[in-house]
Amino acid sequence: MLSGEIKSEKVVFKKVFSPEFWFVVPEYQRSYVWQTDNISELMDDLEYACENKHNNDYFLGSLVLKDLENNDYPEYEVLDGQQRLTTFFIMMAVFRDAICDQDYKYTIQETIYQKENKLKKIPARMRITYKIRDNVETFIKDVLIASKGTDNKELLNEYLKSSNVSLSNMANAVIILKDLVANLLDEDKLKLLEFIFNRAIFIYVSTDNTEDAFRMFSILNNRGIPLTTADILKSENIGELKTEKEIKKYAELWEEIEGKQGERFDRFLQFIRTILIKDKARSNLLDEFHEKIYAVIPPKLKKGADTFNLVNKYNDIYEQVIDLQDDTLENRFKNLVIIMKIGMRSDDWIPPLLYFYKRFGIVKINEFLSKLEYKYTGDWVCGITPTLRLDAMNEILKKIEKADSASEVVADSALYKINIDNFRANLNGDIFKKQYAKFLLLKVEYLLSDNAVMVSNYHNISVEHVLPQNPKDGSQWKKDFNEQNREFWTHKISNLVLLSKKKNSALGNLDFIDKKEKYLNKRIDIFKANKVFMDRQNVWLPDTLDARQKRIVNLLISNT
């Protein structure tokens, strides 16, 4: 590569994990932070793609690399993509130990580690080298490189308890991946491996110029900020501390919080920024802290211990009310948080909830969340712009700050007012392709639930038509619905149900009785409220949909 040249290429997995690429994760990169949900979702997506798109390429993500211009072998510094690269690094070791085919084992081992060959003067080398990550190299040698290393439960449990964020998360990744791979049949393990090696692709961009590399990262990263934003805040606040004891204490505290928050850490810091400023962000996170939090007179927050303690306080609150660790919270509250986390495209509702809990604890928190969600959902469905929706959330934050009690916040009806007529009209429209369709169906499930805690780990909820979009000629659907009725009802909320898996194309055009049978015998995991309703129906007719539409719309408008 010529100096300053930028190279971009689509490259298949087996090439990325071959002698053509050796990776270095530099000191300034954050720890490995992928959690159980990240890993489970990746595996689920891979399995689905393997099953349904085996003849098509599957996009794994982008890599931003700096070419280190090593004359002995192609070595690249990873600016963006280390979380996914590390996960596949771990995944390969898990597959190696889970399969019996020796040829596959040997090939997989080559993706992880190059064995030394003295005669050919080939040195031993790991696919990925992590600079200044205490004991990570030992973990890789003992668990990932060593044959059957991923089967060492005792060692993995020790690493799982480590205070080092990378080590504990890597150990967790091994454990999660082992469970997921173990659920596959032997033939499916090999089939999935073949798909990953030959059909899964990365897009990589590389240059040998550091400035160009970081500029590319900033362009490709949708936050527009290098991953070191949180690290810069940490460093600046560490610099305000006076003693080594304090430095050690707060550095470890920050790492612990970062480990818990994972890839959402920057977003979590954005929540704190929003709570403190109560206004829309006008610049990047770092500038917002510098200019609107630290530099104002008096400062909204002091650098040093005060910042660390506030971040820690809100991390605790986040765990209590968003991760639902507060045992005193009622199931009704927990279920609403669960569906908001699953179904809402925006998390702008989180700062008001965190701040309310900080000020008032669980007093009136059920009523507050119910009104908060209703306001946000109502504005969303009514087509209110994201900026105005955010303004509404900031007004609620301001009210929380000024209020003397939780009751005062809950009782301010003007804060939660929506356009009911517009809301009703949009609920009665065609909602299938609307961004809020999935959430509204989850909301119906919530409103009709029996207060048992809803399952929160669905990764592939899909929206299914009961009356199909294109029923076959001669089907019962064509007899029960004329063209005008089909056009009117197909995309209405009353004709939609939620499945806890990706859509099954073979199910779509079945007549109602056959479709109902598959829903109810658990071959298809339909959500409970939908299942109960369908169990009571022997036919699916325009009158059925009309009655169901009225009930669902009134339920969503009444919010009870």
Mean pLDDT for all residues in the chain = 86
Residue 278: count of CB within 10 angstroms of its CB:
20
Min mean pLDDT across 189-198, 217-226, 341-350 is at 217-226
| Number of CB atoms found within 10 A of residue 20's CB | 11
Contact of 436 with 381, CB cutoff 8 Å: yes
Cα 460 to the center of its chain, rounded Å:
12
Identify the three-state secondary structure at position 525: coil
Overall residue count recorded for the chain in this entry? 560
Question: For 292, left (φ over 0), alpha (ψ -120 to 50), or beta?
Answer: alpha
Min mean pLDDT across 332-336, 354-358, 539-543 is at 539-543
pLDDT above 70 covers a percentage of the chain that reads 87
pLDDT at 372 over 90: yes
The pLDDT value given to residue 212: 63
Residue 383 region by backbone torsions, left for phi larger than 0, else alpha for psi between -120 and 50, else beta: left
Question: Tokens 């990932």 appear where?
Answer: 144
Is the pTM for the entire model greater than 0.85? no
SS3 12: strand
What string of DSSP letters covers 260-284? Answer: HHGGGHHHHHHHHHHHHH-S---S-
Pairing status of strand 125-126 against strand 128-130: unpaired
What pLDDT was estimated at residue 529?
62
Determine which of 221-230, 256-265, 337-346 has the lowest per-residue pLDDT on average.
221-230
DSSP code per residue over 40-58: HHHHHHHHHHHHH-TTS-E
Mean pLDDT of 436-440: 94
Q: What is the mean pLDDT of residues 239-258?
A: 86
Q: Which region holds residue 451: left if phi is over 0, alpha if psi is between -120 and 50, else beta?
A: left
Which amino acid, residue 483?
A: E
pLDDT (tens digit per residue) in 144-161: 999 899 999 999 999 988
pLDDT tops 60 at residue 223: no
| Alpha helix ranges (H) inside 508-541 | 512-520, 528-535
Q: What's the confidence (pLDDT) of residue 226?
A: 42
Res 362: pLDDT: 96
State the Cα–Cα distance between residues 186 and 391, nearest whole angstrom.
Answer: 54
Summarised one tens digit per residue, pLDDT across range 374-422 is: 999 999 999 998 889 999 999 999 999 999 999 999 999 999 999 999 9
pLDDT of residue 74: 87
Peptide bond into 386 cis (omega under 30): no
Mean per-residue pLDDT, 220-239: 63
Which run of H or E residues covers position 379? helix 365-381
For residue 297, CA distances in Å to 119, 281, 302, 308, 338 come to 69, 19, 11, 20, 39
Q: What is the pLDDT of residue 72?
A: 77
**DSSP state at residue 361:** T
- pLDDT value at 274 more than 90: yes
Query: Using 50, 70 and 90 to split pLDDT, how confident is the model at 218?
Result: low
Strand, coil or helix: 383: coil
Whether residue 523 is predicted with pLDDT greater than 50 in this model: the reply is no
What is the DSSP code string of 404-432? SSHHHHHH-GGGG---HHHHHHHHTS--T
Q: What is the pLDDT of residues 29-42, one digit of tens each?
A: 777 888 888 898 88
